[in-house]
Structure 1
Amino acid sequence: MSALMELRKVWGHRPLISVGVGLLIQDERGRVLLQRRGDDGLWGTPGGALEPGEDFLTGARRELLEETGLVCPDLSLLPVAEGLISGPESWHRYPNGDEIYLLGMRAHGTLSAAALDGARPDDSGETLELAWFALDALPELSANINRAKMSLLRARVGLPPLPLEPTPPAPPVGNFLRELRRFVGSRPLFAPGANVLVTDAENRLLLLRHGDTGLWTLPGGSLEPGESFEQTAARELREETGLMANRLEPLEMFAGPDYRFTSPNGDVVDYVSVLYRAHGVGGVLTLQAGEVLGAAWFGVDELPADDELSGELIRANLRHWKEGQSTQP
């Protein structure tokens, strides 16, 4: 049984966050591979939820094999600006009443049309049928998340986007992970969220001292149901620092086994985190009481040692920033 189904035992039909990957497979004519789903009989792309500790590309290859029996040699994740899945349009209610916010990444690959002759989906019942469809002759699609994926491909060939179905208002921002912990204890949970690079006029990077660990971290935090990654980045930046950005540029997605973190209280999370760069930052630096013990600005050669940073995710975020500085003219 999947980790998500285990959560359903204690959470019921209420909205959950599912971290997963959607696959956009096209043939030599530009047609897209769709599966007719076993739950609602409608069409969508192959894909599904990650398992704890799994990265997106590994999950994409696994889901493609399970749902189609196919292997796509050139399968790769889309650039983060195109590949992100999140936001209110990612809400879906399954026929059994389960509500979910799907988020994660999209992967793209190509196969010959003839490859479908060798398709052998597994016996789970998720895939009733597989077929190629032209982007201007799509069947009835299951859920907004599939409409959004098709609109991405349609835009590439000059076709208009598909209309989205209405979605319910997002739940009030609270502390989704903390509430979930009441039911599941310290077991590994996905922690989707965002961190933000904020620099000053001297190109020094803003770091915060974490209230629980005393270690240095970036402004950022966990995504709440119904939020996009960008909305999370903006909210956490404002809450933790009092600052606001005119624009948040997505730089990179960080996910996989390297980014598992154990809190001082024993809670285990697998981070699924988008790193943003803040542009046009304004406001007065005002630290969030309790959450943040202090703040400082660091030049690229002045960053704290690795053991002073709050885990591998933050270390990887800072390496990304440093590498970006080295490539600038």
Structure 2
Amino acid sequence: MSRATRRVDYWRDPNAPKPTSRRTSASVFVLDKQGRLLLLRRVDNDLWTIPTGGVKKGETVSQAGVRECHEETGITVEAVGLVGVFSTPEHVIAYYHGDRLDEVRQPINICFRARMVGGVITPQASEASEVRWVDPRDLDHYPIHPALRARIDHGLNSRTPYFA
């Protein structure tokens, strides 16, 4: 087995490992002028997602979402609203380094609506193997984890922020 870090997401799985940590992450929901959604394919689990990452010391949650989007996709955005706060204990993420389980995280994600202000799609090999604008009608053709799909669906279907 590779010594690379691997991520395994669990959803509503009674056999999922028990969380060892709780961390805050930020994500951005970005639609272009044609109504297409910005998606990237993660290198650690090969699933498609919206730009997402951990909040670092010294930055706000919205700054984290903006930074992560640029780091992962090459696109510069500004946060313009809130999709929601997603903190259900039904989503657990296990991080492995080689065969060793390093951490089991129960995430707290704050998802922002954002608009593109610049940049060019440039996938960062350490973060994303692919980045593209996707027509929402085509989302069923992309492997997306249910917890992330809930964020996307809420962003597409409601202007009222989600809290759970």
Same fold per superposition (TM over 0.5): yes
CA distance in 2, matches of 1:296, 1:242: 11
Displacement of 1:251 after TM fit? 2.2
Among 104, 107, 119, the residue aligned to 1:268: 104
Among 137, 156, 160, the residue aligned to 1:322: 156
CA distance in 1, matches of 2:53, 2:140: 20
Displacement of 1:228 after TM fit? 1.4
CA distance in 1, matches of 2:87, 2:73: 25
Q: How well do the aligned residues superpose, as a CA RMSD in angstroms? A: 2.2
CA distance in 1, matches of 2:153, 2:96: 24
Report the CA distance shift for 1:303/1:233 in structure 2 as closer, same or farther (over 3 A).
Answer: same
CA contact (8 A) 1:195 1:221 kept: yes
CA distance in 1, matches of 2:27, 2:33: 20
Aligned amino acid, residue 288 of structure 1: Q
Displacement of 1:317 after TM fit? 0.8
CA distance in 2, matches of 1:232, 1:312: 23
Report the CA distance shift for 1:280/1:209 in structure 2 as closer, same or farther (over 3 A).
Answer: closer
Looking at secondary structure, tell me which structure has more helix per residue.
1
Displacement of 1:197 after TM fit? 1.1
Indicate yes or no: 2:121 matched with 1:285: yes
CA contact (8 A) 1:213 1:264 kept: no
Among 303, 325, 328, the residue aligned to 2:139: 303
With the length of structure 2 as denominator, give the TM-score of the two structures: 0.74
CA distance in 1, matches of 2:146, 2:88: 11
Aligned amino acid, residue 56 of structure 2: E
CA distance in 1, matches of 2:54, 2:79: 19
Report the CA distance shift for 1:197/1:315 in structure 2 as closer, same or farther (over 3 A).
Answer: same
CA contact (8 A) 1:230 1:248 kept: no
CA distance in 2, matches of 1:215, 1:246: 25
CA distance in 1, matches of 2:76, 2:88: 29
Aligned amino acid, residue 253 of structure 1: V
Alignment of 1:68-107 (within 5 A): none
1:51-109 CA-to-partner distances (Å, cap 9, x unmatched) read: xxxxxxxxxxxxxxxxxxxxxxxxxxxxxxxxxxxxxxxxxxxxxxxxxxxxxxxxxxx
Aligned amino acid, residue 319 of structure 1: D
With the length of structure 1 as denominator, give the TM-score of the two structures: 0.39
What's the % identity of the aligned pairs? 31
Report the CA distance shift for 1:217/1:251 in structure 2 as closer, same or farther (over 3 A).
Answer: same
Which stretches in structure 2 are left out of the alignment for 5+ residues?
Answer: 1-17, 160-164
CA distance in 1, matches of 2:37, 2:96: 26
CA distance in 1, matches of 2:34, 2:113: 15
Report the CA distance shift for 1:261/1:247 in structure 2 as closer, same or farther (over 3 A).
Answer: closer
Displacement of 1:305 after TM fit? 5.1
Report the CA distance shift for 1:304/1:295 in structure 2 as closer, same or farther (over 3 A).
Answer: farther
CA contact (8 A) 1:247 1:280 kept: no
Which stretches in structure 1 are left out of the alignment for 5+ residues?
Answer: 1-185
CA distance in 2, matches of 1:189, 1:211: 22
Looking at secondary structure, tell me which structure has more strand per residue.
2
Query: 1 or 2 for the larger relative contact order (CA 8 Å, sep ≥6)?
Result: 2
